[in-house]
Structure 1
Amino acid sequence: MVAKNPLLSGRISLRKKFMATVINDIWPDIMFFTLVATAVHLVTTKTSLDLEVNNALLGVLGTVLGLVLSFRTSSAYEKYQDGRKMWSNVAIQCRNAAVLIWLHVPNERPAQNGGQAMSILEGIIEKKSMINLVQAFAVSVKHYCRGESGAYYQDLYPLISFLPRYSSHGGKTEADMLPLWHASEDREHPYDHTQSACVSPSASASGSPAGSLYSEAEAGITSGSARLTQSRQSSWFTRTRNHDYIDPEKVLPTVHVHRPLKPARNPPSATIYDYMPFLRIFRVLGRVFSKKGDNGVATRSMMNRKKPELGDSNVPLEIIMFLSGYADRLLRTGTMQAVSASALISSINALSDTLSNLERIGNTPLPFAYQAHLRMSLWIYLFFLPFQIESVMGYLTIPGTAFAAFLFLGFLEIGQEIENPFNYDLNDLDLDMFCLGIMREMNEITAHAVPESSKYVFSSYNQPFAPADRRSAEDLVKQGTEGYTHTGPGGHGVGSQPGLMSIERTLLKAWKDVDEHARR
């Protein structure tokens, strides 16, 4: 997403500045209508043929088209804003769920129902793993909204690789594979249902044979660096933003997988068809006469942007199932208080609702009949515009028509571009940065050891009664409530008697001071 004006920013390459606008989408249409206006002007001035058309409907049709274009752009921007709000909800609920898991679930747990007791280390490992699942939910939603199905991505698989691959009651066969993994497999890399394909990372690291397993550290991160080098070389100028060079996979767990992982970010490659859209007719004809199918490479559609279909495997739903099961077990075993468990379940349900809203935004485009009729009406209006204004504007008909085409077609294309804000266009929402922010927050939450409040409240750095009393909490505790008296400016006592009454008057004095300065 381009938040600032890329034309005035010196940290974005020239290619990205050009792609951030809609000029590359509409310039062939502008050239066509400019040529029409030029032909009308030359025929009218150089020959005796009069091509003038009555302009009685010019103002009426222009007003109607302007209102319709305004509605088109407004509806698209509303979906854009809805998408941003839903991703804010994802961040909020992930934050809430992580805090509830980390703070309200005890680390050490006694044995219950004939089971084994859980040590402090085991409790911390369990909670951190579930928080990793919360982070994985946000990442999976990003891929799901972009139509990238499956779980084998460099930023997703390391977070969910520990989830069970087979049902608990079945054997390790394809018939027992759970939906999360069964739907993620494809024909290129079928899963080997043998013990040799289930070697753990620690066993492989200690020298055990891993068969045909791929190491993410070798395959995934290396390919990410290769793509980074390629992106630097492919740009017109290498000046760009710093966050374009972030490689978040380096801070994720190093796991082993039986197939190479797909990149975390896989935007469609820009070709000559993106800068010269009228050449796409040759690509369409080539596909008609060619029997070659899709090779799986992400390419742009006829509208100069990738149109993602929602993935066939709902990985976010699978993660919600595991998180809901975890919350249910905490509630049934009494490990978590009922109020806290209810709050955790509410956060998980809110994540599910947000996923449904994101699906609604992604798979509800403007009806094709409306788009086609609006585009045809606009083309007819721009085509006959030079015939109506030639007698009034003369040679200015040419630049006037070009500007009118730029204005109307630009707004039409902007509405088309932001209608689905989950693509890879520069004006779409930056889902990768949203996921990076959630990843930082998840790790920031788990960085706290949750000490008792008594260990940091009564310190020499805390002045709880400021500004009326600027003594530290450590000094106040040493004095005690019976000996507490507040001394105001000049050594005059504020309270008439020591004890809690003086503390209350100190709090009142603090309110008066704050209220006086706030009103200024």
Structure 2
Amino acid sequence: MVAQNPLFRGRWTWKKFGATVLDDIWPEVIVFTLFATIIVLVSEKTRANLGVSNQLLTVLGLVLGLVISFRTSSAYERYQDGRKMWTNITVASKNLAQMIWIHVPVDRPVPAGSTEKPMTPLEVMIEKKTMVNLVQAYSVSVKHLLRGEQGVYYEDLYPLISFLPHYANESSSKQDDGELLPLWHLRDEHDHLLDSIVVDDEKKSSGRHMRTQTEKTMVASSSSSDTGVRGPVPGGPYHRRTRVDTFDPEMVLPEIGSNQPLKPARNPPDLTIYDYLPFLRLFRWLWRVVTLQKHNSGETKKKRRKAYAEIMESHIPLEITLVLSNYSAWLMKKGLLQPAIATAITNTLLVFQDSVSNLERICNTPLPFAYQAHLRMSLWLYLLLLPFQIYLAYGYITIPATAFASFLLLGFLEIGQEIENPFNYDLNDLDLDYFCLSIQRDLHEITAHTTTDPSEFLFTKWNQPLAPSDRRDAAELTKDKDKEYRTVDGSGEPGMGSLRRTLVVGWKEVDLLTRQR
């Protein structure tokens, strides 16, 4: 989400104009301004008077303004719904992590007569921390899902889920792609895309050497001898990319080798001349038609705005929720969860499913094309007729008036089109990376909690529970052998009566001193 003005934040580049709609509407504004200039010059320099009555202007302008307003409002509603769903994911992630970290017991007594090996406290902590990492991976997988980024081989996602099963029969010695689980399945064109990313990465990274032919031979030989296993390989040939800048949040993630190259966590498409000169796309299309060029399905598509996410072959968030749900079922089967906590965990997982379904609804339900096309054509016709209707009243001022009107109306129309799918890389889109990193920080803060016995920190000199009426610390309050409360001045009988009286005095003092006179 844009928290500050992106035009004046960070280093200035010409790409900053991407935060506005100027780069999208300027060709149309120029066209309508030139058309208005022609109308004015013909009317001024010749005997022909192209001015007409402006009665139609009022009627059409009112209707068109209402329709454009509805278009922009509906798009902003989708934008807000997307933000609300991400808030739900954030809250649910923190709630689920708290329940796993605090309410899942560390002590795992083995029932009498059972041959099961008891889990050590270290093993239990590893189990709980791993599940919290899966909660973090859920939000990251939703981010990639909404951006239409296929697979799990990303720098911010793969290290968190690399330990999950890769094959339907993990214990089997004969593992092939026929048993590869959907989570790890790659399509042929996705493999081609990964190969192209490795080439681009090797060309662009200044601090990284290209792999030698010997390394390639070692990779090929290892791939042929591992019976097709495509799972995590410690020290494998593909690691996280190193970035030159100082901001690299992926550095805090586990360093897990992989047999597939890991794509960057944030990979916005490159801008091309067609993004700033949209009318040139017509000539590109004509050239393809004339030369009968066929589109290569293996090419890497680079668009400035990806309108809607593609259908994913494997629904990664669903796979992660299945693992978390299986974990909660295992805990309930072992009797390690109280019924209330088990219900809360189940409800939290349902919130995950509901939120991602609503996000997919926003992402994959565009405004009907007929509505968009008719609205844009109506606006073009209105702007084409505008110079004829205002020339008699404004004369030469018709030219800047038309330019302003086209800038205003086309701008609102373009804003509605830009924000109706707020999950991509535009400067006005929701900052999904910020949301995921925020969840990551909160989850690590939760797991930093030591879950100690409260008695270890309550009765110390750092705690003054009865202030301001009694500023003695808890250690001094409880040093009496009888553990009875005694007032500071020793008046009154010790016990709960004096304690209640002290609390009432404290309430009066707080109520008096905290009110502004």
TM-score using structure 2 length: 0.88
The total of aligned residue pairs comes to 482
Pairwise CA RMSD: 2.4
Residues 184-199 of structure 1 correspond to what in structure 2 (within 5 A)? 186-188=190-192, 195=226, 198=229
CA contact (8 A) 1:269 1:298 kept: no
CA contact (8 A) 1:306 1:424 kept: no
Residues 23-102 of structure 1 correspond to what in structure 2 (within 5 A)? 23-102=22-101
Which residue of the partner structure matches residue 416 of structure 1?
A: 417
Q: 1:199 to 1:349 in 2, by over 3 A?
A: closer
CA contact (8 A) 2:363 2:423 kept: yes
What is the Cα deviation at residue 249 of structure 1? 1.7
For the residue of structure 2 that corresponds to 1:423, the secondary structure is: coil
Which residue of the partner structure matches residue 516 of structure 1?
A: 512
For the residue of structure 1 that corresponds to 2:55, the secondary structure is: coil
Task: Give the distance between the partners of 1:370 and 1:334, measured in 2 at CA.
Answer: 56
Residues 216-255 of structure 1 correspond to what in structure 2 (within 5 A)? 216=239, 220-222=240-242, 225=243, 246-255=247-256
Task: Give the distance between the partners of 1:451 and 1:463, measured in 2 at CA.
Answer: 20
Equivalent residue letter for 2:180: M
CA contact (8 A) 2:145 2:309 kept: no
Residues 317-336 of structure 1 correspond to what in structure 2 (within 5 A)? 317-336=318-337
What is the Cα deviation at residue 111 of structure 1? 2.9
Equivalent residue letter for 1:384: L
Task: Give the distance between the partners of 1:393 and 1:442, measured in 2 at CA.
Answer: 63
CA contact (8 A) 1:172 1:193 kept: no
Which residue of the partner structure matches residue 183 of structure 2?
A: 180
Q: 1:469 to 1:33 in 2, by over 3 A?
A: same
Which residue of the partner structure matches residue 300 of structure 2?
A: 297
CA contact (8 A) 2:274 2:280 kept: yes
Give CA deviations for 1:4-36 in whole Å, capped at 9, x if unaligned. 2234x2524232431100000000000000001
Give CA deviations for 1:380-403 in whole Å, capped at 9, x if unaligned. 001100000001011110110000
What is the Cα deviation at residue 285 of structure 1? 2.7
CA contact (8 A) 1:148 1:310 kept: no
CA contact (8 A) 1:73 1:412 kept: yes
Task: Give the distance between the partners of 2:177 and 2:441, measured in 1 at CA.
Answer: 37
TM-score using structure 1 length: 0.87
Q: 1:198 to 1:117 in 2, by over 3 A?
A: farther
Which residue of the partner structure matches residue 142 of structure 1?
A: 143
Which residue of the partner structure matches residue 215 of structure 1?
A: 238
What is the Cα deviation at residue 447 of structure 1? 1.6
Task: Give the distance between the partners of 1:94 and 1:193, measured in 2 at CA.
Answer: 41
Q: 1:331 to 1:434 in 2, by over 3 A?
A: same
Give CA deviations for 1:367-423 in whole Å, capped at 9, x if unaligned. 111111111111100110000000101111011000000100000000000000101
Give CA deviations for 1:108-135 in whole Å, capped at 9, x if unaligned. 3123554221111111111111111111
Which residue of the partner structure matches residue 439 of structure 2?
A: 438
Asked if 1:4 is matched to 2:27, the reply is: no
Equivalent residue letter for 2:183: L
Q: 1:272 to 1:485 in 2, by over 3 A?
A: same
Q: 1:174 to 1:468 in 2, by over 3 A?
A: same
What is the Cα deviation at residue 284 of structure 1? 2.2
Give CA deviations for 1:468-504 in whole Å, capped at 9, x if unaligned. 22221111111467653334xxx6x7x6432111111
> What residue ranges of structure 1 are gaps of 5+ in the alignment?
206-212, 230-244
Which residue of the partner structure matches residue 213 of structure 2?
A: none
Task: Give the distance between the partners of 1:509 and 1:287, measured in 2 at CA.
Answer: 86
Which residue of the partner structure matches residue 500 of structure 1?
A: 496
Which residue of the partner structure matches residue 215 of structure 2?
A: none
Give CA deviations for 1:425-476 in whole Å, capped at 9, x if unaligned. 0000000111111111111111222111111111211111122222211111
CA contact (8 A) 1:184 1:313 kept: no
Stretch moving more, 413-422 or 463-472: 463-472
Task: Give the distance between the partners of 2:310 and 2:318, measured in 1 at CA.
Answer: 17
Asked if 1:429 is matched to 2:438, the reply is: no
CA contact (8 A) 2:175 2:227 kept: no
Give CA deviations for 1:160-180 in whole Å, capped at 9, x if unaligned. 110001124865122222121
CA contact (8 A) 2:152 2:158 kept: yes
